[in-house]
Structure 1
């Protein structure tokens, strides 16, 4: 595949990185890190809404998944609590079904996040009885759910019909999860509702699978961003830390570590670019192969990069005050959610 980001996409990433540098999410998180889960910052939500980024994937805006990849990588790099990809996916789904909440979701007045069942368990069930849609069970983990107003839940019923419904958070049993990740909040929603006709929508066949692929891809992109930040931190540290009268970056073993980290990060980025291009395409089989291959490779690579970064930093990397552990924790959670690495490898083998 001959592919490169356009000038507009490069500028989009640079602009978002500048905003994140000015509004450093990790620095803002540090003072309250022991007080509870990270919350969605109001200033960040305003930024996404005013920039039109929540509605990026809607028909009116006409953005692509590659555009969203650029943004998501920057938020992963910065350790941001803002689920930019999740918000955009939810807004595009509401827009596609013509839901009246679509406009307020794009402006940030109504915070809506996408929810699906776990791809590895059957914890969420859906069925249609006449005109009544019954939903019960538990969703897969959702980031930012504790601050959301609603979820847009997409599911496949027991008869194979695909449906979506907007569910206010107050109608759900939201259970906050304690995870390794200290930079974002995670929660699952317990669902037990019966919705009359007009309160839910039919989806085209294959939509739920596409949503799973979108979420999995952008979870891996987030891990890529965190890994890229760890590469930069490691190179910077190796260039300044001295041992035996020399900077440790001059030692061959450390050079190899940094080179391996950089190579893994670049190749992971290439696989995820291919996955994002496939998400913009209309071939489900090609999308499955591209997404699962990229997610399995990139999440494994990000995890290896995080462990290597810890070694390069030595003793300081193990301290609470350094950012290495925050990014490592974030990567480890990304590696497990929306389909584990082993799940995507099995899926790729049968694709």
Structure 2
């Protein structure tokens, strides 16, 4: 498959990287890192809303998953706390609806609301949903999701007991919807589960076409690993730079063959991950659900392991400095390790490929 980013997509990525460099998320996080889970800065929320990034996949904006992917990669590279993929996917789904919930798409895009997509765990207990007349009874715990304490509501995709796929809007603070924030390795984002046990009125839920839940699951799995790719790319650059500056026995350690091999291995794994993920993102914009599932799981399985290995090698090349609290390496490594496990671990995606 021949694939290349357009000039517009490269400019989009460059523009977002420039904003993230100017408003460095890691520098903003450092003063509060011991105070509790990361929160999404107001300036970042304002930026993604005013730039139109949250509404990128809506019909009005006409963006593609490739467009969103280059942005998610940049946010992963910068270790941003913004749940860009979750917000954009939720907004796109709301925009498609012929239902009063569709009004939330504009509110989400403009920043008046912050409603991310939340799904059940792929390898845990499913959400229990039952349609009772015009109401929907939903209970259970979702998969870990990022930035839930900052959300004004949640868009939940689930399958009911009779096989109907539904989208459910649950406002933050609703009785029977509790946010439980988790302690994780990742210090750059907050991770929480949504514990549900409530009845939802007709105006807050609707049925959606069959295949919507699996599509959204594939999309989130892809974007989790795309985030890890951005962080891994930054680690490669930092490691190569460090190897050229750090001296031992009177010469840069980058001149040693073993270190050269380590850096080459990191670059190879990163670029191979990129290739597999680009193949997957093209499938997200297509209509072949079986091909999409295979492409996403192949990419997630490879990139999940490869980016985690890149992080481990980066730590080895940095040596003692890499273990210090002050160095950014551990923050990117922690982020990658969490990305590796969520929305389908490497082993889960491999099993899915074998069973297909």
TM-score category (smaller protein) = over 0.9
**Which whole-Å deviations, capped at 9, do the CAs of 1:28-62 have from their partners, x for residues lacking one?**
10011000111011101111011100000111111
Query: Once superposed, what is the RMSD of the aligned Cα atoms?
Result: 0.8
* Equivalence for 2:15: 15
**Residue from 205, 209, 222 that aligns with 1:204:** 209
d(CA) in 2 for partners of 1:67, 1:314: 37
TM-score computed with the length of structure 1 as normaliser: 0.99
Query: What secondary structure sits across from 2:197 in the alignment?
Result: strand
Is residue 216 of structure 1 aligned with residue 221 of structure 2?
A: yes
Query: What secondary structure sits across from 1:164 in the alignment?
Result: strand
**Residue from 319, 330, 333 that aligns with 1:325:** 330
**Which whole-Å deviations, capped at 9, do the CAs of 1:201-223 have from their partners, x for residues lacking one?**
11100000000001000000000
**Residue from 125, 133, 137 that aligns with 1:130:** 133
> How far is the alpha carbon of 1:132 from its aligned partner?
2.1
**Residue from 158, 163, 178 that aligns with 2:161:** 158
d(CA) in 2 for partners of 1:294, 1:4: 17
* Equivalence for 1:299: 304
Structure 2 gaps, min length 5: none
Structure 1 residues 111-150: aligned runs within 5 Å: 111-150=114-153
d(CA) in 2 for partners of 1:142, 1:329: 16
Query: After alignment, is 90-99 or 165-174 more displaced?
Result: 90-99
**Which whole-Å deviations, capped at 9, do the CAs of 1:80-107 have from their partners, x for residues lacking one?**
1111111101111111124221111100
Query: After alignment, is 2-11 or 129-138 more displaced?
Result: 129-138
**Residue from 242, 247, 252 that aligns with 2:252:** 247
TM-score computed with the length of structure 2 as normaliser: 0.97
Query: What secondary structure sits across from 2:167 in the alignment?
Result: strand
Spell out structure 1 runs of 4+ moving beyond 3 A. Answer: none
Conserved 8 A contact 2:72-2:223: yes
d(CA) in 2 for partners of 1:232, 1:286: 33
Query: What secondary structure sits across from 1:180 in the alignment?
Result: coil
Is residue 268 of structure 1 aligned with residue 273 of structure 2?
A: yes
d(CA) in 2 for partners of 1:269, 1:313: 24
d(CA) in 2 for partners of 1:186, 1:234: 28
d(CA) in 1 for partners of 2:190, 2:143: 14
Structure 1 residues 88-107: aligned runs within 5 Å: 88-98=88-98, 99-107=102-110
> How far is the alpha carbon of 1:199 from its aligned partner?
2.5
How many pairs are equivalent? Answer: 351
